[in-house]
Amino acid sequence: MTCFDDLSIDVLPKIFDYLTFIELYQTFFGLQKRLDNIIRDNSTCIILSGIDLQSFQIKYSQLNFDKLRSITFRKMNLLTLHSFIEKLPMKQLESITIGRFTWHYYPKDLYEQVWSIFMNSICPNRLRYLNLPYHIRYWNIQKLSFDFLNLEYAKLEYISVTQMLLFMNHTPNLRRFQACLDAPHKNLFCYTIVLLQLKYLTLNLHDEWSFEQVQQLLNICPHLKHLILKLEAQKDKKIMFEPSTWKKLIEEKLSHLKSLRLQLNCIVTESNENIHSYQKSFNHAAYWQQRQPHFQVTIYRIQRTNSIS
C-alpha cells in the first residue's frame, strides 16, 4: 500500500490542484519541507474568500507571489478589495475574478475611485480573463485610456449598453463575452464596433428590446459561432416570435453560427393569453427542425399586471 509520504513530487501537484490555495496552505504547509516547496511553487492561482488583508499577511507571510498569475476574490467588501489591490502584484496577473461584494453601502464616488485604482493596477497587455460583479456599473468606463490587447474572455455581471460598447472598443481581440444588459440606449446605433475574434457570446437582455436593436447588437460579432441569448418581448410579439425573422437574421448576419440557445420570455398581461402557438411555430418549422439539437428556441410565459397610473 502506497502512503502519502511515498508519493513523488510529480504526483503531489496534481492532487493539490483539487484544493483551493487556502485549503492547501492550511492543510499541508509546515508539515514537510518538500510540501512547503511545492506549495510555494503552486501559488500561481489563489482564491481569497472571506479574509482581510491583515489576516492574510499574518497567515501567508512566508509565501512568494512572484509566480502568481490568477486570483479570485470572494465574500469581500469594497474596502477589503481595495486593500488587496494595493498590496498584491496585480500587474503580473493573467486572470482576475471578483465575486459579489458582501453587503455594505458605499457612495458611488467610492466605487468609482476603487474601480479606477483597480483598472490602473493591472497590466492590459497581460490580462487574458476578467470577471467583474454588478458594481462595475458604477465605474465610468470613459476613463479607460488603454486597450486590453490580450483579453480573450470577459464576464460582466450587469452593465449598461453604453458601458459594454465602450468596454468592447478597448478589447479588439475578445473571443468570449458574457453580460447582463439593461434597457437599450440610443448609443447602440452610434457606435461602429466589429469584433472579428468574438466567437462565444452570452447575453441576458433586461427590459424591452426591439428586434432591430437585437440585430444591431449582433452586428458587433459577424464571426460568432456560439450564441446564448435571453430576452423579453411584449410589444413586438409578431416579429420577435416569428421563426422566419430569426432565420433571416442568422443567414444574413451570423452565417458562421454553429450553436444557438435562444430564450424568449413572452410578457402577457391577460391570464387567458395563449402563447403555445409561438413555440409550435419554431418546433414545426423545417429550418429549426433540421438544426436540432444545435439550435434550440424556448419560449416562456411571464404574466405581469398593468401598472396603474
57-107 pLDDT, tens digit per residue, is: 877 776 777 878 889 999 999 999 999 999 999 999 999 999 988 877 888
How far apart CA 61 and CA 44 sit, in angstroms, is 16
Average pLDDT over residues 103-124: 90
pLDDT over 80 at 140, yes or no:
yes
What separation, in Å, do the N-terminal and C-terminal C-alpha atoms of the chain show? 77
Given this model, what pLDDT does residue 233 score?
82
Average pLDDT over residues 282-300: 95
Q: How confident is the model at residue 235 (pLDDT cuts 50, 70, 90)?
A: low
pLDDT over 70 at 133, yes or no:
yes
Q: How confident is the model over 245-271, as pLDDT tens digits? A: 999 999 999 999 999 999 999 888 776
Average pLDDT over residues 216-244: 90
- Select the more confidently predicted residue: 228 or 5: 228
- Identity of residue 201: L
Given this model, what pLDDT does residue 22 score?
65
| Exposure b/e, 30-45, CB count within 10 A at least 16 = b | eeeeebbebbbebbeb
- Select the more confidently predicted residue: 92 or 50: 92
On whether the CB atoms of residues 105 and 79 are closer than 8 A, the answer is no
Average pLDDT over residues 222-242: 88
Dihedral over alpha carbons 208, 214, 217, 220 (to 10 degrees) = 160
List helix spans (H) across the chain.
12-16, 21-28, 33-41, 53-59, 78-87, 108-121, 161-168, 211-218, 237-240, 243-253, 276-284, 286-290
Given this model, what pLDDT does residue 89 score?
92
| Domain ranges, ordered by start, for the chain | 194-309
Given this model, what pLDDT does residue 309 score?
43
Given this model, what pLDDT does residue 221 score?
96
Q: 167: how many CB neighbours lie within 10 A of its CB?
A: 24
